[in-house]
Amino acid sequence: MRKGKISDLIGENIFFRELKPLNPDLVPIEVVLYRLNLDRIPRKRDPEYPHVISCYLNLLGDFDRILFFGDTLLNDKNFALGLSNLGEYDVVAVITRESGEKLELRQEGNILFSNRWSFIRELPEYLAKMDFYIDEKTAVIVDIDKTLIGARGRNDCAIDLARAHSVYKLLEKAEITMDFHDFFELYERVNSPDLFDLTQDNQDIVAFITIALSSGSVKEIISIEEAAKELIKTKNPFLSYVGKEVLTNLEKKSPTLFPTFREMEYFTTIEFMDRFDDRTPIEKLLKEEILITGEIFQQ
Per-residue pLDDT tens digits for 13-62:
999 878 999 999 999 999 999 999 999 999 888 999 999 999 999 999 99
pLDDT in tens, 275-284: 999 899 999 9
Tally: H helices and E strands in the chain: 14, 7
Contact 75, 101 (CB under 8 A): no
CB-based burial of residue 104 (10 Å sphere; 0-12 exposed, 13-18 middle, 19+ buried)? exposed
The predicted pLDDT at position 145 comes to 94
CA atoms of 283 and 168, how far apart (whole Å): 24
pLDDT for residue 224 is more than 90: yes
pLDDT in tens, 252-262: 989 899 999 99
CA atoms of 12 and 25, how far apart (whole Å): 10
- Residues 6 or more apart in contact with residue 203 via CB below 8 angstroms: 163, 261, 265
What confidence tier does 292 reach under pLDDT thresholds 50, 70, 90? Answer: very high
What confidence tier does 193 reach under pLDDT thresholds 50, 70, 90? Answer: confident
CA atoms of 92 and 227, how far apart (whole Å): 41
CA atoms of 113 and 139, how far apart (whole Å): 20
Q: Kindly give the pairing relationship between strand 15-16 and strand 105-108.
A: unpaired
The predicted pLDDT at position 6 comes to 84
The predicted pLDDT at position 122 comes to 95
Rounded average pLDDT over 216-226: 91
Using alpha carbons, select from 154, 14, 130, 22 the residue that is nearest to residue 67: 130
3-state secondary structure 140-186: EEECCECCCECCCCCCHHHHHHHHHHHHHHHHHHCCCCCCHHHHHHH
The Cα-based distances of 49 to 33, 36, 114, 118, 159 in angstroms read 10, 11, 24, 29, 24
Angle at which helix 237-251 crosses helix 224-233, to 10 degrees, equals 150
pLDDT in tens, 65-120: 999 999 998 889 999 999 999 999 999 999 999 998 899 999 999 999 999 999 99
Q: Is the pTM of this model over 0.95?
A: no
Mean model confidence pLDDT for the chain: 94
**Considering the chain, what percentage of its residues have pLDDT values greater than 70?**
100
The predicted pLDDT at position 1 comes to 65
